[in-house]
Amino acid sequence: MSETANLILVNGKIRTMVGTTASAVACRGEHIVAVGSESDVLALRSGGAEIVDLSGRLVLPAFTDAHIHFASFAVSRQSVDLKGVTSLDEAARRVGAAAGRTPPGVWIVGRGWLHDLWGGTQPHRAILDAAAPGSPVALWRNDGHAVWVSSEALRRAGITRDTADPPGGEIQRDATGEPTGVLAERAMDLVVAKIPAPSVDDLARAIEDAILIAHRSGLAGITCMEGFDAYRAYHQLKENGKLRLRVGMCLALDAFDEELEQIRRDGRGDAWLHWTHLKIFADGALGPRTAWMLEPYDDDPSNRGICVTPPDEMRRLVERAAHEGIGCAVHAIGDAANRAVLDVFEATRSLWHPRGLRPRIEHAQSTTPADIPRFRQVGVIASMQPIHATQDMIVADRAWGRRVTSSYAFRSLADAGTRLAFGSDCPVETLDVLQGLYAAVARRRADGYPPGGWHPEQRLTVAEAVAAYTSGAAWAEGEELHRGTIEAGKLADLVILSDDIFAGAPETLLQTRVEGTIVGGEWVYRTF
């Protein structure tokens, strides 16, 4: 061995995620140079090398969140937080408090509400009008697929009783035909267009502040599902040497031409910031009952959800992206949406497969038993968020009934040979990876509900779940040669955990702490 190391971790339990274990790992600069026994690894130390005794701690490849809205998470920390609010009165109180510190006429924004927590009571513009008189208010539902707005927001957007629903969207109305103030899917765009976007500088500052939270969760990388302004903010941080998180950036459909021009000019990027897939929406979400279903919702028999992007249009987008050498990541939650996306990818396989592109379905929440094997057969990655299963289960039982037996089907998809990539969908849910792992392995919430797990036949092993957050997420981005496992030559992205999550009951995951995160061979978070 001729290489030397400047950072050596010893006396640990190192899971490489390639089927081997070790007690020591050596890094030089941004890369791993050796994995093995302490004697072999210590032989590589250079003068001044940092040698860290792990005292038996577990080391894994640092996690990658394969589906996150990180810029939105960063900004949401500064807005009205309605997550977990259990009454309309409390929601109104928080909006009123925000109105008290917001200049007149300035938008009040927030997110996190779930009317399911309010006994089914629906939000209405009148509540916001009373809490913040005359103010434009826009509050996104927790899943981001509906927005609750005030009368002033509707006025600024030009929405009246005579405004038609836009294609792929819905303006919810009362019995008299007046807008209630709830806009779903593409109807949200009517209001979003009127809200001043944060500047790139503001986004960059918010993201920089939020990166430490990612490091505390053991994350070294993310696949970001946001727009071109978010990319510009990441790029600014990178140029200023402040981007200590690896970002795979999905292309946004509304800026596709501009993004393609940049790729042609500057290339796809590097290990810190690079373009990945084109993001497309096939449907909506479960909560607002806009996920596109083959059969009506059990609790809404007249409704099958919303097809946001018709299959013919989707096929044209997939074909155009493939000609540019870009794969597609398609949001699909309902079983009709998942089937339509699989159909499109199958019909276009002769175009994208020879180019080595890796299509993804984002969420893949409700699938029919007949469609589960098709993920592997067609070659589609299932990019899923385990914590959705445990957070959605009560609503899913109510809305989908017997169909939940093949929903959030981690085990069935894995057994069919599907490549899994796991993420959080933050800020919809927490970016805490250990909670996501627990949801995948136990199919229970952190409070232990339900005993025995929700459809426990869909549980994964700890090793399978960890792989989906590491090697699977790297594969989904086309980064498997550089990260996702602990091997010589790969980037030195590591996470150090307090406990061996592979031993003992699933609850070990909830008791375990992230005690260190290394990105590119440098400590970005450490508690010991």
Please give the CATH architecture assigned to the domain spanning 198-278. 3-Layer(aba) Sandwich (3.40)
**Assigned CATH for 5-56+491-526:** 2.30.40.10
Global pTM value? 0.88
Residues of each domain in the chain carrying CATH 2.30.40.10: 5-56+491-526
Residues of each domain in the chain carrying CATH 3.20.20.140: 282-460
* Distance (Å, whole) CA 419 – CA 414: 7
Predicted pLDDT at 362: 98
CATH class for the region spanning 282-460: alpha beta
* Distance (Å, whole) CA 364 – CA 412: 12
Q: Which residues in the chain show pLDDT less than 50?
A: 1
53, 87, 252, 338, 401 from 332: Cα distances, Å: 45, 30, 16, 5, 19
Contact residues for 57 (Cβ-Cβ < 8 A; gap 6+): 12, 13, 496, 497, 498, 515, 516, 528
Residues of each domain in the chain carrying CATH 3.10.310.70: 80-192
Residues of each domain in the chain carrying CATH 3.40.50: 198-278
* Distance (Å, whole) CA 525 – CA 218: 9
384: amino acid identity, one letter: M
* Distance (Å, whole) CA 438 – CA 132: 40
Listed in sequence order, the DSSP H helices in 267-404 are 311-323, 335-347, 349-352, 372-378, 386-400
Contact residues for 141 (Cβ-Cβ < 8 A; gap 6+): 111, 113, 114, 147, 148, 287, 288
Rg (C-alpha) for the chain, rounded Å, is 23
Predicted pLDDT at 509: 97
Predicted pLDDT at 77: 86
Predicted pLDDT at 7: 97
Structure tokens at 469: 């957050």
Fold of 80-192: Diaminopimelate Epimerase; Chain A, domain 1 (3.10.310)
Nearest partner of 230 among 73, 35, 81, 88, judged by Cα: 73
Predicted pLDDT at 2: 57
